[in-house]
Structure 1
Amino acid sequence: MCLLFSPVRMDDACPSSCICTRDSGTVTCRDGDYTEVPRDIPEWTSTLTLTGSNISTLQRDAFMTNGTELEMTTLSLSYNGIQAIEPYAFLGLSQLHLLDLSHNQLEFISSRAFHGLPELRSLYLNYCVSPAATTQLSDALNTQSLRNLHRLELAGNKLMSIPLERLDVFNLHALVLINNSIEIIGEENVTTLYQQRRIRVYLSLNPFRCNCELEAFYYWLKNSSQCPDAGRLLCSEPEAKRGIPVEKLRGEEVDCMNENLEAVSYVFLGIVLALIGVVFLMVLYLNRGGIKRWLNNIREACRDQMEVYHYRYEQDSDPRLANVAV
């Protein structure tokens, strides 16, 4: 009786609204009315696709069947309503090679969300991370559990910077950061990119601020082939450079030394002009006596001349003064 009513699963069982193909090890679930990962996924599953559902949370035992861990190699959870990734959500999936959580609505990501995935090669988190979860994403990705990660996609998440503290922790071959809000790639990240030459970084559709803070990245872009979409990287600021490809800038436009020298030159010019003004005022002060005498002489000469004009006017008016010499 116990064996009769125990939840023994059938190898050929397939969740409702799903298509299961045993030969390829694929289970595809689209537009199902799921609020959590189906629990009757066949044990032989190697590729799992869950799209268009309303999954809100990934629990610790989401990928276990009757206490048995599934040996999946590919997992896709695209276009769901997932809002949180709980601690150890994927623990037990030691053979998982690909995880796709793109186009969800992640509001919370546990720092241990990706623990227990030593064989994970590809992680897709495109258009799914809310601004509130950005910091949590960084904590979750910086784990030794992802040491074999080859491809990481983080497109369309409004990221302000690369959310990886150290790129050398992973075995990354491709890092996709297109269509985010990255303005500057810092010198520390650039140094790591020089060291990790196998990495290809995709950065188009980011609003780069093309000032001297971009200097290290600019020279990396010019001297490296690690950015396949380098020609599509455009300046957003300042206004005068908007729309100009970053790699088309002149070196002096992002040279911090030139910018500093220009600032110093303006300061120096101001000091020189101020000194000239002080010298001029001192000359006026020291020669105030001579200037005063010069002004008095001009005033006396003008007064004498005015008296002559006045007397001649009186001569013209009075004939009796015509024979009087001036």
Structure 2
Amino acid sequence: MCLLCSPVRTDGVCPPSCVCATDSGTVTCRDGEETEVPGDIPEWTSTLVLQGRNISTLRRGAFMTNGTELDVATLSLSDNGIREIEPYAFLGLPRLHLLDLSHNRLESVSSRAFHGLPELRSLLLNCCLSPAATAQLPHALSAQSLRNLHRLELAGNQLISIPLERLDIYNLHALVLVNNSIESIGRENVSSLYQQRRLRVYLSLNPFRCTCELEAFYYWLKNSSQCPDAGRLVCSEPEARRGVSVEKLRGEDVDCMNENLEAVSYVFLGIVLALIGVVFLMVLYLNRGGIKKWLNNIREACRDQMEVYHYRYEQDSDPRLANVAV
């Protein structure tokens, strides 16, 4: 009777700093002072939550208990201040389906950090990557360890770009890139998106630069349903299009051919005007004698006309000159 009423099983006593629920298989360890993962996590654990602790480094096999593996399906390590993930850190969790590392401060991620997770379906890395960790991430997300990855979240990491053409090695269904610093999606990445029809990409809250460089992505967005939050994508640049929905742009707004022709036309007009100016100056120089004579004739004609006007003014002023012929 005591064994039936016990909150934990006898093969795994709940760690003192954690709360265990056998009915849901959840172990929650929050706000501890420990700098390591608890070493006595019950083997029956299916959901493990470690939050608000002082874990700075995940070492090799950090979740193995006395050399045995844990039956963990969900592992949340968010908000622990983790800075480094060593190789094979998650060894001992072969049945893990969801791993949440959000809101940490990752500065170093080993290329073999996620090895030993063949069943991982969801990897959450929101608001946790430094520039150094971002550069290391493509090597850590290797096909050898994450072939069954369905969902990858990279929101809030100030990413400038993401090599989408390399993600076809996974079984991805959802890629979350919300609230980053992505200004454009290149043609290579767009081609990869066309090939991965099942993939859904979330891209809202990115500062898109709506110039002709966005042309390929613009037409993909108009002709595809792979971006569920397409209606929330807005332009950040240029100033004239700031706040405009990317979907509501006109084709000519992102037409590189039209933009190039317009630039060429301005250059051509400038060249034509410069040539006309040169020709005009040459004509003036070559005909400077004739031009001078023409100007003198105009001046003399003007002077004669002014004399006539002056005499008529005097005639009107003095009645005695009324009978004098001009």
TM-score range, shorter-chain basis?
0.7 to 0.9
* Change over 3 Å in CA distance of 1:287–1:21 after alignment to 2: same
Does 2:186 correspond to 1:186? yes
Contact 1:204 1:232 in 2 (8 A): yes
**1:39 alignment partner in structure 2:** 39
**1:73 alignment partner in structure 2:** 73
**1:90 alignment partner in structure 2:** 90
Question: Residues 137-192 of structure 1: CA distance to partner in whole angstroms, max 9, x if unpaired?
Answer: 23222443111100011111111112555121110000111111111111111111
Amino acid at match of 2:119: E
Please state how far the C-alpha of 1:135 moved relative to its aligned partner.
0.7
Contact 2:235 2:246 in 1 (8 A): yes
Please state how far the C-alpha of 1:32 moved relative to its aligned partner.
2.2
Q: For the residues of structure 1 that align with 2:306 and 2:47, how far apart are their CA atoms?
A: 112
Contact 1:102 1:125 in 2 (8 A): yes
Amino acid at match of 1:118: P
**2:154 alignment partner in structure 1:** 154
Question: Alpha carbon RMSD of aligned pairs, Å?
Answer: 2.9
Q: For the residues of structure 1 that align with 2:303 and 2:158, how far apart are their CA atoms?
A: 82
Question: Residues 229-250 of structure 1: CA distance to partner in whole angstroms, max 9, x if unpaired?
Answer: 1111111111111111111111
**1:140 alignment partner in structure 2:** 140
Runs of at least 5 residues in structure 2 that lack an aligned partner in the other structure: 1-8, 312-324
Amino acid at match of 2:220: W
Question: Residues 105-130 of structure 1: CA distance to partner in whole angstroms, max 9, x if unpaired?
Answer: 11211122112212110001111112
**1:287 alignment partner in structure 2:** 287
Which stretch has the larger CA shift, 56-65 or 109-118?
A: 109-118
Contact 2:117 2:145 in 1 (8 A): yes
* Change over 3 Å in CA distance of 1:13–1:274 after alignment to 2: same
Contact 2:64 2:91 in 1 (8 A): no
Q: SS in structure 1 opposite 2:145?
A: helix
**2:3 alignment partner in structure 1:** none
**1:13 alignment partner in structure 2:** 13
Q: For the residues of structure 2 that align with 1:224 and 1:280, how far apart are their CA atoms?
A: 57
Report the TM-score, using the length of structure 2 for normalisation. Answer: 0.87
Within 5 Å, which residues of 2 pair with 1:221-300?
221-298=221-298
Which stretch has the larger CA shift, 110-119 or 289-298?
A: 289-298
Query: Hey, which bits of structure 1, 4+ residues long, moved more than 3 A?
Result: 296-311
Question: Residues 60-80 of structure 1: CA distance to partner in whole angstroms, max 9, x if unpaired?
Answer: 020111111223222111121
Q: For the residues of structure 2 that align with 1:142 and 1:214, how far apart are their CA atoms?
A: 29
Question: Residues 187-238 of structure 1: CA distance to partner in whole angstroms, max 9, x if unpaired?
Answer: 1111111110101111111111111111111111111111111111111111
Contact 1:13 1:42 in 2 (8 A): yes
* Change over 3 Å in CA distance of 1:309–1:269 after alignment to 2: closer
Contact 2:127 2:155 in 1 (8 A): yes
Q: For the residues of structure 2 that align with 1:127 and 1:78, how far apart are their CA atoms?
A: 10
Q: SS in structure 2 opposite 1:28?
A: strand
Contact 2:164 2:189 in 1 (8 A): no
Identical positions, percent: 83
Q: For the residues of structure 2 that align with 1:172 and 1:308, how far apart are their CA atoms?
A: 96
Please state how far the C-alpha of 1:59 moved relative to its aligned partner.
0.6
Contact 1:115 1:143 in 2 (8 A): no
Report the TM-score, using the length of structure 1 for normalisation. Answer: 0.87
* Change over 3 Å in CA distance of 1:142–1:210 after alignment to 2: farther
**2:166 alignment partner in structure 1:** 166
Q: For the residues of structure 2 that align with 1:306 and 1:26, how far apart are their CA atoms?
A: 109
Q: SS in structure 2 opposite 1:69?
A: coil
**1:320 alignment partner in structure 2:** none
Question: Residues 52-107 of structure 1: CA distance to partner in whole angstroms, max 9, x if unpaired?
Answer: 11111101020111111223222111121211111221134222111111111112
Q: SS in structure 2 opposite 1:68?
A: coil
Q: SS in structure 1 opposite 2:226?
A: coil
**1:210 alignment partner in structure 2:** 210
Q: For the residues of structure 2 that align with 1:237 and 1:163, how far apart are their CA atoms?
A: 23
Contact 2:111 2:137 in 1 (8 A): yes
Question: Residues 250-279 of structure 1: CA distance to partner in whole angstroms, max 9, x if unpaired?
Answer: 111011111101101101111111121122
Q: For the residues of structure 1 that align with 2:306 and 2:219, how far apart are their CA atoms?
A: 78
Contact 2:99 2:122 in 1 (8 A): yes
Contact 2:163 2:189 in 1 (8 A): no
